Amino acid sequence: MVNKVPFIDLTRTEPGFFEQVTHRHREIVKNCQFVGGPLIEAAEKGIAADIQVPHVISCANGTDAIQLALRAKGIGSGDIVFVPDLTFWATLEAVVNVGAEPAVIDVDPNNLHMSLEIIQKASKIKKPKAIILVHLYGWVAPETLAIRQWCKSQNIVLLEDCAQAYGAKINNESVFTGADICTISFYPAKVLGACGEAGAVTCQDENTAKIVRSLSNHGRYSHYEYQYIGWNSRMGTLEAAFVLESLPHIKARIDSRQKIIEYYRRTLNQLPMKILSPEKSVTENGYLSLFRVNQSERPKFVEYLKQKDIGHGVVYPSPLSNQPMVKDRIHKLSDVNNTLSICSEIISLPCFAYMRPEEAEYVVQAVKEFWS
Ligand SMILES: *Cc1c(COP(=O)(O)O)cnc(C)c1O
């Protein structure tokens, strides 16, 4: 009998998976090959083939990936960079860390992502040198193709933060394939997680790839010769081996997540709780199940889920611009009413790879009971 369901459980993996990882890890420890070498290259090649992109450069984490990508594209001191007000803190942090100035903008009330209209309006007030389009929730921003095209025509750097979007597609094509430059996080709780901190930058152009790689390795061009002031942002081989062993299973993991979300959509559609789905052109990776619950009901709903031992998430409880410490350090080019309203209503139910049907059923029964 199921009587509790966690929000996420990372220990659910394929039979034999941990043994294979342990075997690889034993070899790494035995040979003391902790940094660099063929495993890093193999992981990068494996990822590149999986998401259909020419260049993958591994790095220490998803936040560094954004900083590396911005630096490689020449974004720095005084440059204006648009970021959605609805994203993880790291998106904004990375902009500040490279010396640029974040301008937060609102998201579309229906698809929860940046829209071309909102971007164009804001850019009339202050033209950005770069825009970070964040594909949140394992979805892809539905206007991605139009935004890419417009940015190109305006000579604006478009960086796509795909930390949550590994495996997501638009028009049946990997989100990475048509993007100029993207960043990934392999934080363990992401869809493709490592056994520790790790990240990557993906790009189309070989020269950009070379700059990213050099920046992530102290700005080196040979062992003791440096062309940039970079830093140490290399991925470790233990993490690379874990990612490499995960790749053959990623499709099954995504399928499993998608099935849970589909089940929620099928069974929870008659309730006073709104089920959120990406637009038809988008294939989500199942990172998060998303619902909107009236602001006045959400605290009671959360309390109820706790009583039932059901995990939940609120991604995110407030806009970035509400954090007191950035209030005076960001440009605010529009109101962010849509973001505010999403933050006050959004909620996610448990969803992770290999969550069991009985667990999903327990969640659904409990949620139905709450609204009955
Ligand atoms: C997780 C995440 C990051 C940061 O990745 P780390 O690997 O934790 O540094 C950046 N942006 C978004 C949208 C994220 O979800």
pLDDT digits (tens, 9 = 90+) for 88-100: 999 999 999 999 9
Q: CA 72: distance to chain centroid? A: 20
Q: What is the pLDDT of residue 179?
A: 98
Q: How confident is the model at residue 87 (pLDDT cuts 50, 70, 90)?
A: very high
Tell me how far apart the alpha carbons of residues 170 and 88 are, in angstroms, rounded to a whole number: 22
Q: What is the pLDDT of residue 47?
A: 98
pLDDT digits (tens, 9 = 90+) for 185-238: 999 999 999 999 999 999 999 999 999 999 999 999 999 999 999 999 999 999
User: Which numbered atom of ligand 1 lies nearest the CA of 185?
Assistant: 7
Q: Does the pLDDT of residue 182 top 90, yes or no?
A: yes
Question: What are the residues whose beta carbons fall under 8 Å from the beta carbon of 100, sequence distance 6 or more?
Answer: 70, 75, 76, 77, 78, 79, 80, 81, 129, 130
Q: Is the CB of 137 under 6 A from ligand 1?
A: no
CA of 370 to the centre of ligand 1 (A): 33
Mean pLDDT of the chain: 97
Q: What is the pLDDT of residue 328?
A: 82
Q: Does the pLDDT of residue 260 top 90, yes or no?
A: yes
pLDDT digits (tens, 9 = 90+) for 327-349: 888 999 889 999 999 999 999 99
Q: Is the CB of 315 under 6 A from ligand 1?
A: no
**Prediction pTM value:** 0.98
pLDDT digits (tens, 9 = 90+) for 151-162: 999 999 999 999
Q: What is the pLDDT of residue 356?
A: 98
CA of 90 to the centre of ligand 1 (A): 6
Q: Does the pLDDT of residue 248 top 90, yes or no?
A: yes
Q: CA 273: distance to chain centroid? A: 25
Long-range interactions of 302-311: CB distance < 8 A, separation 24+? 302/347, 304/366, 304/370, 305/349, 305/366, 308/4, 308/366, 309/3, 309/4, 309/5, 310/4, 310/5, 310/349, 310/350, 310/362, 310/363, 310/366, 311/5, 311/6, 311/7, 311/8, 311/350
Q: What is the pLDDT of residue 329?
A: 87
- Tell me the average pLDDT across 286-315: 98
Q: Does the pLDDT of residue 265 top 90, yes or no?
A: yes
Q: What is the pLDDT of residue 240?
A: 98
CA of 226 to the centre of ligand 1 (A): 28
Contact 101, 331 (CB under 8 A): yes
Tell me how far apart the alpha carbons of residues 311 and 286 are, in angstroms, rounded to a whole number: 16
Give SS3 for 234.
coil
Q: Does the pLDDT of residue 184 top 90, yes or no?
A: yes
Tell me how far apart the alpha carbons of residues 99 and 101 are, in angstroms, rounded to a whole number: 7
DSSP-derived secondary structure for 314-365: -S-SS-GGGSGGGTTTSEE-S--HHHHHHHHHEEB----TT--HHHHHHHHH
pLDDT digits (tens, 9 = 90+) for 102-151: 999 999 999 999 999 999 999 999 999 999 999 999 999 999 999 999 99
Residues β-bridged to residue 199: 59, 185
| Positive or negative torsion for Cα 48, 184, 74, 72 | negative
Q: Is the CB of 92 under 6 A from ligand 1?
A: no
CA of 267 to the centre of ligand 1 (A): 31
Per DSSP, which regions of 173-327 are E strands? 173-174, 181-185, 199-203, 220-222, 225-226, 274-275, 282-283, 291-292
Q: Is the CB of 242 under 6 A from ligand 1?
A: no
- Tell me the average pLDDT across 255-281: 97
Residues β-bridged to residue 83: 104
CA of 184 to the centre of ligand 1 (A): 8
pLDDT digits (tens, 9 = 90+) for 135-147: 999 999 999 999 9
Q: Is the CB of 144 under 6 A from ligand 1?
A: no
Q: What is the pLDDT of residue 327?
A: 82
Q: Is the CB of 284 under 6 A from ligand 1?
A: no
